[in-house]
């Protein structure tokens, strides 16, 4: 399974859902978003590993929420053991 990290930024500040004590709806939205991202990564990457090095990809997903527009934008950062596998991992994520 790929190593997936989900980070949240709310209006530009890094924030964990548990920091949002008083903002239940937003905390719930972030929890839900994280579950969605993890399910999607599992579907797209599954047990994908580098054929040469046997390593799974490491993916950092940053979910940026803007309370002005109430929109969530996702940015993906993928790290791999080598370039050929990076291309495969990115292809898998763009399926
Ligand atoms: Zn490799």
Structure tokens at 26: 């937003």
> 22 falls in which pLDDT band (50, 70, 90)?
confident
Q: How far is the CA of 44 from the centre of ligand 1 (A)?
A: 18
Q: How far is the CA of 94 from the centre of ligand 1 (A)?
A: 19
Q: How far is the CA of 49 from the centre of ligand 1 (A)?
A: 8
Structure tokens at 91: 């292809």
More confident site: 2 or 8: 8
This prediction's pTM: 0.87
89: three-class secondary structure by DSSP = helix
Answer yes or no: are the C-beta atoms of 74 and 18 closer than 8 Å: no
Determine the pLDDT at residue 50: 97
Answer left, alpha or beta for residue 86, where phi above 0 means left and psi between -120 and 50 means alpha.
alpha
How far apart are the C-alpha atoms of 42 and 28, rounded to whole Å?
21
Q: How far is the CA of 83 from the centre of ligand 1 (A)?
A: 7
For the chain, give every domain's residue range.
Answer: 3-93
Nearest Cα to 6, choosing from 54, 48, 55, 40? 40
Q: Write the pLDDT tens digit of every residue in 30-75.
A: 999 999 999 999 999 999 999 999 999 999 999 999 999 999 999 9
Q: How far is the CA of 56 from the centre of ligand 1 (A)?
A: 9
Q: How far is the CA of 50 from the centre of ligand 1 (A)?
A: 5
How far apart are the C-alpha atoms of 26 and 78, rounded to whole Å?
26
């Amino acid at each position: 399974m790929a190593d997936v990290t989900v980070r949240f930024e709310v209006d530009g500040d890094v924030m964990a859902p548990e920091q949002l004590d008083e903002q239940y709806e937003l905390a719930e939205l972030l929890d839900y978003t994280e579950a969605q991202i993890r399910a999607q990564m599992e579907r797209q990457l599954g047990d994908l590993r580098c054929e040469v090095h046997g390593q799974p990809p490491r993916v950092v997903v940053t979910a940026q929420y803007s309370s002005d527009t109430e929109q969530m934008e996702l940015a993906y950062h993928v790290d791999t053991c080598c370039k050929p596998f990076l291309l495969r991992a990115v292809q898998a994520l763009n399926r």
